[in-house]
Homo-oligomer: A and B are copies of this chain.
């Protein structure tokens, strides 16, 4: 089974330059460790574990690039997520202070920043101008959605003479990184492409937890607390919170067990029906009857089985049906029909969650991701991403991470705990409806 999982990291060439890093324990290229992965994490059936040899992240004693002639670039893509500035800062600090790289460029507005027609200027990133950016949310480079032609991107990289490109982004960005690397390879350029996975949904394979996730859960829990207070504050009060999670319900589930006041959590992985004796509305009605209020958390990608498919957006993401609008309408109608007065308060904290600065633990995490990305790039590794697996920073081929999306296993103890916390039925589907 492990044959399918090629964990070898591609190299630009032999690493012959001696690193000047004042570190006592260089981690060498062949310093891999066997990890027995939980199959759920990589989308396999949940039997046994999958042993893989995985390369440990860290500085190497021999590196590929001569630091004094190396120019780095950083680009940030997609939606905001707590911690991006921390990663940028760490890359700049590591490159300048430890490797003495003379120049790190910031590409503005995502991949658009490479394309001349947009006219976005490039910025020089220095230890001085990044030293306080971690205090602020967002990305100082700004971002944009959607792909740009790899050829034009590599043209721009050639013009700017970039040796290492650090790409901070989600699934789509990691795919774009692969396309760029293929173009680089085709041209025979010695340019390293290093991915740092960023997705607030935490849905990337072979990544235990994406950066910013914990901060996001904290803010999501605050919003749910507010929904709970509002639900308690009115007769038959319903508090509904929409959370991120296009294809996986990690934030919704984690915030639910963190806060413990949620009665229904709807996630993409667990289909449900609205009507019928075992439908969501029936259970909501029972809950209101018993307790007089209810809190509902909805991942934005939940209930897509209730919609027709709608095509894709600029970033190639499928356009989701607006599940919360449907839920609000259906709830409204259901209780009107039954002559029950309800009060529904809806909270969409999405941009509040995405734009806050990272908490301390995410900051530490982002710092190491940035540093290990630099170690990898300087060593001549490419077409790879930096990840944390089983509490260790590791290097993985981009191909492994982009194959499919990570989803939440609804047959796990984890989800069982979520259900135990909400008290909702494990299945809200009935045959007759």
Residues of A within 8 A of B (CB): 22-25, 27, 33-36, 38, 46, 49, 51, 58-59, 80, 89, 93-94, 97-98, 109, 112, 118, 120, 131, 134-139, 142-144, 208, 214, 217-218, 220-223, 225-227, 229-230, 232-235, 237, 239, 254-255, 257-260, 345-349, 351-352, 354-356, 359-361, 363-364, 367-368, 371, 389-392, 411-413, 416-417, 420-421, 426
Instruction: Determine the residue in chain B with the shortest Cβ distance to A292.
Output: B142
Bound Cα distance from A223 to B58, whole angstroms: 31
Q: Judge whether A260 and B352 touch: CB under 8 Å.
A: no
Known contacts A136-B229, A217-B360, then 17 further A-B pairs from the complex at CB < 8 Å, ordered by chain A residue = A34-B36, A89-B260, A112-B235, A137-B229, A142-B234, A144-B234, A220-B360, A226-B351, A226-B352, A254-B360, A345-B351, A347-B351, A349-B352, A389-B391, A390-B390, A390-B392, A391-B391
Q: Judge whether B364 and A361 touch: CB under 8 Å.
A: no
Residues of B within 8 A of A226 (CB): 137, 351-352, 354-356
5 closest A-B pairs by CB: A138-B229, A258-B360, A390-B390, A229-B355, A226-B355
Bound Cα distance from A136 to B259, whole angstroms: 13
Instruction: Determine the residue in chain B with the shortest Cβ distance to A410.
Output: B24
Q: Judge whether A120 and B46 touch: CB under 8 Å.
A: no
Known pairs A23-B416, A138-B229, A230-B80; A36 contacts B33 (CB<8 A): yes
Bound Cα distance from A51 to B360, whole angstroms: 31
Q: Judge whether B359 and A218 touch: CB under 8 Å.
A: yes
Select A25's contact among B46, B222, B229, beta carbons within 8 Å.
B46
Residues of B within 8 A of A349 (CB): 349, 352
Residues of B within 8 A of A348 (CB): 348
Q: Judge whether A80 and B233 touch: CB under 8 Å.
A: yes
A94 CB, nearest partner CB in chain B, Å: 8
Instruction: Determine the residue in chain B with the shortest Cβ distance to A232.
Output: B138
Residues of B within 8 A of A46 (CB): 25
The complex is assembled from copies of this chain, and their number is: 4
Instruction: Determine the residue in chain B with the shortest Cβ distance to A413.
Output: B58
Select A138's contact among B59, B233, B411, beta carbons within 8 Å.
B233
Bound Cα distance from A229 to B137, whole angstroms: 6
Q: Judge whether B254 and A364 touch: CB under 8 Å.
A: yes
Q: Judge whether A223 and B144 touch: CB under 8 Å.
A: no
Bound Cα distance from A255 to B139, whole angstroms: 23
Select A143's contact among B234, B239, B364, beta carbons within 8 Å.
B234
A212 CB, nearest partner CB in chain B, Å: 12
Q: Judge whether A223 and B352 touch: CB under 8 Å.
A: yes
Q: Judge whether B25 and A230 touch: CB under 8 Å.
A: no
A146 CB, nearest partner CB in chain B, Å: 11
A196 CB, nearest partner CB in chain B, Å: 16
Bound Cα distance from A171 to B27, whole angstroms: 32
Q: Judge whether B109 and A139 touch: CB under 8 Å.
A: no
Residues of B within 8 A of A109 (CB): 234-235
Q: Judge whether A361 and B258 touch: CB under 8 Å.
A: yes
Bound Cα distance from A143 to B260, whole angstroms: 23
Known pairs A58-B413, A144-B234, A235-B109; A135 contacts B138 (CB<8 A): no
Known pairs A361-B217, A361-B361; A138 contacts B352 (CB<8 A): no
Q: Judge whether B222 and A352 touch: CB under 8 Å.
A: yes
Residues of B within 8 A of A230 (CB): 80, 138, 351, 354-355
Bound Cα distance from A405 to B237, whole angstroms: 29
Bound Cα distance from A335 to B134, whole angstroms: 33
A85 CB, nearest partner CB in chain B, Å: 10
